[in-house]
Amino acid sequence: MRHALMLLIPFLCAPAFGEIYKSTDANGNTVYSEHAPAGRPSEKMNLPPLNSVQIPKAKPTEAPAPAAPPSAPVAAYTLLELTGIPADGAIRANDGTFDVGVSIQPRLAGGQLLQLVLDGVAYGTPSNVPLLQLVNVDRGQHRLAVQVLDGANVVQVSEPVTISVLRVNAR
């Protein structure tokens, strides 16, 4: 059965090797067909051979050498932390607006900026002023940190601090 099927495949593919005819219909449009139209003059087209591309065989790849373990980033600043946060982390701000300070040693290098990070997302515009303001922060628990940026590169990140913003609930 399998051999009979193999013998029939060339006959099933025969229409792929058919001829193409070019003619003009009653409206003057050019029509291409695999059959010569009856009652209209047509021209048998001699088409160039189809383009084909030989796909190169893939070369076996070698396993990459194990990479050296990344070295720990060198801290550019000996002290980088948020200040002005109460010891219990509770910030009472009915409108959700409050300031946090940044303690940094040595001084911030020229061209570098401080970026506040609220719940893992950059907050506000980077600044070289070590006093950062948060506006309309939702009540509840949040994580704050500060990054030192040099262009688009993060130079150093402070330890995150968990705060609780307390706002009056007037129902």
CATH number of the domain where residue 135 is located = 2.60.40.10
Q: Are residues 148 and 104 in the same domain?
A: yes
Q: Is the dihedral of CA 20, 21, 26, 30 positive or negative?
A: positive
Domain assignment of residue 74, yes or no: no
Mean pLDDT of the chain: 82
Q: What is the gyration radius of the CA atoms in the chain, in angstroms?
A: 37
Asked whether residue 24 is domain-assigned, the answer is yes
Over residues 55-99, the pLDDT tens digits come to 888 777 676 666 655 544 556 889 999 998 888 888 888 888 999
Residue 106 belongs to domain spanning: 79-166
- pTM confidence score: 0.53
Does residue 11 belong to any structural domain of this protein? Answer: no
Residue 60 has a pLDDT of 74
Band (13; pLDDT cuts 50, 70, 90): low
Q: How many domains does the chain have?
A: 2
User: Distance between CA atoms of 153 and 147, rounded to whole angstroms?
Assistant: 10
Q: Is residue 63 part of a domain?
A: no
- Whether 38 and 111 map to the same domain: the answer is no
pLDDT of 72 reads 45
For residue 61, what are the CA distances in angstroms to 15, 21, 55, 65, 129? 42, 49, 17, 12, 52
Residues 6+ apart with CB under 8 A from 139: 96, 165, 166, 167, 169
What is the reported pLDDT for 142? 92
pLDDT at 7 over 70: no
Q: Are residues 84 and 162 in the same domain?
A: yes
Q: Are 23 and 41 in contact (CB under 8 A)?
A: yes
